[in-house]
Structure 1
Amino acid sequence: MKITETQFNMKYLLIFCIAVIGFSSSAQEFSLPKGHQIISEIIGGLNADQIDEKVIVVETDEETDFGFVRDIYVLKSVNDTWKI
């Protein structure tokens, strides 16, 4: 079975998201930076801890030759507050 480039990229995106969650021991409350706009968000489990995470795709106000820069945030719910 041949893996497409999209599947390959999604695999590494998922690994990156899990690594970010795993290494974030001192979580800070999330606030959307000024000039940024949420493009998409989804809530679901990224690991086996039975606690949902929220992944947000944000378009920044920084423009390049390829369009506006986008950031990905992975948030964890701590005491009913989304933290990064």
Structure 2
Amino acid sequence: MHAKPGDWLIVEIAGTAHSARRARILDVSPPDGAPPFTVRWLDTDRESLVFPGADAHVMTQEELDALDARVAARAVEVQRHILGRRRTP
């Protein structure tokens, strides 16, 4: 896993009651971009030093924007499908 400042660390959380945690990578100490990373967590606004595990991956801002757009489009599609079924007798 390699990153640069400005990338996002995404930590997948198992279970249906949880979603992935996101953290903006602020600093990468090793010159090759390997962990540990200094991050600021989006949900708590706290900074921490992270040694990511197997449940984590790095995304660029562009990759995250594209993912968020796909998720939003899928949500709209599902809502349209649900509303369409309600109108059908």
TM range (shorter): under 0.3
Larger radius of gyration: 2
Normalised to the residue count of structure 2, the TM-score between the two structures is 0.24
Higher helix share: 2
Normalised to the residue count of structure 1, the TM-score between the two structures is 0.25
Higher strand share: 1
